[in-house]
């Protein structure tokens, strides 16, 4: 039995394209793998807090055990990391905001990228033998023109940060041109949905 962590980060609710695409993948996956387990995390509707001074103090503290206030400062981080580590695979929906990731997803990253939990002091990733699917949604296109590629800080960042913690088997499906007219939008969504169906069979 495979355990999948399904995470959505769009705050748009039912109007979100990234949510609809991750939902489509998970529904299709469960049709083929009905015994698999899904854990769902919605940081668009329920954002995680950004790290603060207490979090930093607790994360780098050498004291064992931690004082109660420091333990409390890491409570959300511990929950999110435990959830990440117990899963075998990940399906994340992440819209592009200003050429990168939404602030709520950056807050999630800052909570889970933690020394001694997801990487070692020597920068060795501890989240290994996992697979990840990231479905992004974008208003324009970042595949072809060099000038456009240079503005894509989303995929390079996501690939780098997850590889840093040990997740190296990462697949991206980009639904692009969503604000470039109905024809371009539908063409891109069709391509993304075809990729989703193909991945369900091959993943």
User: pLDDT tens, 149-189?
Assistant: 788 999 999 999 999 999 999 999 999 999 999 999 999 99
Give the Å distances, CA to CA, from 166 to 85, 100, 117.
11, 21, 12
Q: Phi/psi at 43 (nearest 5 deg)?
A: -90, -5
Of 159, 148, 26, the C-alpha closest to 101 is: 159
Tokens of residue 121, six digits: 């002091």
Q: What pLDDT does residue 145 have?
A: 56
Give the pLDDT mean for 132-153. 83
Give yes or no for residue 144 having a pLDDT over 80: no
Give yes or no for residue 147 having a pLDDT over 80: no
Q: How confident is the model at residue 195 (pLDDT cuts 50, 70, 90)?
A: very high
Give the Å distances, CA to CA, from 197 to 24, 26, 157, 173.
9, 11, 26, 11
CATH of domain 3-202: 3.40.50.360
pLDDT higher for 48 or 145? 48
Give yes or no for residue 102 having a pLDDT over 90: yes
Q: How confident is the model at residue 146 (pLDDT cuts 50, 70, 90)?
A: low
Contact 51, 36 (CB under 8 A): no
């Amino acid at each position: 039995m495979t355990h999948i962590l399904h995470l959505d980060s769009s705050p748009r609710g039912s109007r979100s394209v990234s949510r609809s695409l991750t939902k489509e993948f998970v529904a299709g996956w469960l049709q083929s793998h009905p015994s698999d387990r899904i854990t769902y995390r919605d940081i668009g509707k329920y954002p995680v807090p950004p790290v603060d001074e207490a979090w930093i103090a607790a994360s780098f503290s050498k004291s064992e055990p931690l004082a109660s206030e420091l333990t409390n400062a890491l409570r959300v981080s511990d929950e999110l990391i435990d959830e990440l580590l117990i899963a075998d695979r990940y399906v994340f929906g992440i819209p592009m905001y200003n050429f990168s990731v939404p602030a709520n997803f950056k807050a999630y990253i800052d909570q889970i990228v933690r020394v001694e939990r997801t990487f070692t002091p020597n920068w060795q990733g501890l989240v290994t033998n996992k697979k990840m699917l990231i479905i992004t949604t974008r208003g324009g296109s970042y595949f072809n023109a060099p000038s456009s590629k240079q503005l894509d800080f989303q995929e390079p960042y996501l690939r780098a940060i997850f590889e840093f913690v040990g997740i190296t088997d990462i697949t991206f499906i980009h639904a692009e041109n969503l604000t470039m007219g109905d024809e371009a939008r539908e063409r891109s969504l069709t391509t993304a949905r075809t990729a989703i169906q193909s991945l369900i069979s091959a993943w």
